[in-house]
């Protein structure tokens, strides 16, 4: 084997190992056909915060677009008017999701909800103890399991799954109010997603303030529900100011909801 062939073989073997490592941390889209130039960004993404971008929908066709702060600021006022801002997309720790720009509200404008389903087992939803809840990123799937299991139920006076229902009902914009309907599939974030929101709360708040020019959008000192199940009595919650994760009673704790979505 020539020196050139040996070098090519070593490069191929090294790339195979890099691909395996990236797939192991969640990047299933990375294959041996992927460009090696992508790998440094993926490594940064796996290790921590890669970036945050404003998630928008283009008014003309409702297509999804993403802009960094610099890219958004480079747009002319006329071009900015071609988009409606949907939320803030964060890419960190191999995860990527969109955070709603504001909290969820009920029809009476209250902003706190029960989780619901006290005493009920939810098929397909496994209990997460203290260790596993930090790596739970199945918010969308778990939200649908909660909704399916608790639809039409009444648990000690709490109907259905109020927190999950509030998350999926969230709209960043509406046809009546904005001329465009938000078709995003919002969900109740998992405990792992909530921990990412806490970990980068200051950066998230800086971006929310920059893109929406309002402190009312910020992540604040409140407890928020997650979709992560603990047992038939409790679900995981997170204080986004302190990062304190604790379980609270599904039917007696009125807590806040911040919807998230896949990007």
pLDDT of 9? 62
pLDDT of 3? 66
Quick: pLDDT tens for 93-104.
999 999 999 999
Q: Whose structure tokens read 């979505």?
A: 261
What is the rounded distance in angstroms from the CA atom of residue 4 to the CA atom of residue 7?
Answer: 5
Q: Confidence class of residue 213 from pLDDT cuts 50, 70 and 90?
A: confident
Is the separation of the CB atoms in 217 and 199 below 8 Å? no
- Both tokens of residue 171? 């709209």
What are 58's strand-pairing partners?
83
Q: Confidence class of residue 4 from pLDDT cuts 50, 70 and 90?
A: low
| Predicted TM-score (pTM) above 0.85 | yes
More confident residue, 3 or 230: 230
Which range (13-17, 88-92, 107-111) has the least confidence? 13-17
List, in order, residues 6 or more apart from 248 with CB less than 8 Å away: 115, 223, 234, 235, 237, 255
């Amino acid at each position: 084997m020539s020196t050139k062939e040996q070098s090519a073989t070593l490069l191929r073997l090294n790339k195979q190992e890099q691909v395996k490592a990236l797939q192991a941390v969640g990047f299933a889209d990375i294959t041996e056909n992927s460009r090696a130039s992508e790998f440094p960004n993926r490594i940064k993404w796996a290790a921590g915060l890669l970036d945050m971008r404003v998630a928008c929908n283009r008014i003309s066709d409702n297509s999804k677009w993403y802009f960094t702060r610099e890219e958004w600021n480079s747009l002319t006022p006329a071009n900015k008017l071609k988009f409606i801002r949907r939320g803030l997309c964060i890419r960190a720790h191999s995860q990527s999701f969109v955070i709603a720009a504001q909290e969820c509200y009920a029809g009476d404008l209250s902003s706190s909800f029960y989780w619901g389903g006290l005493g009920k087992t939810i098929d397909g939803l496994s209990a997460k103890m203290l260790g596993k809840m930090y790596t739970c990123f199945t918010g969308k799937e778990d939200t649908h399991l909660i909704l399916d299991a608790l639809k039409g139920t009444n648990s000690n006076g709490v109907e259905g799954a109020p927190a999950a229902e509030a998350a999926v009902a969230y709209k960043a914009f509406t046809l009546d109010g904005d001329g465009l309907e938000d078709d995003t599939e919002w969900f109740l974030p998992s405990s792992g997603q909530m921990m990412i929101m806490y970990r980068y709360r200051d950066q998230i708040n800086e971006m929310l303030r920059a893109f929406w020019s309002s402190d009312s959008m910020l992540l604040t000192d409140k407890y928020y529900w997650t979709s992560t199940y603990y047992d038939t009595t409790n679900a995981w919650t997170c204080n986004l100011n302190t990062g304190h994760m604790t379980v609270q009673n599904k039917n007696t704790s009125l807590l806040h909801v911040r919807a998230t979505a896949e990007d």
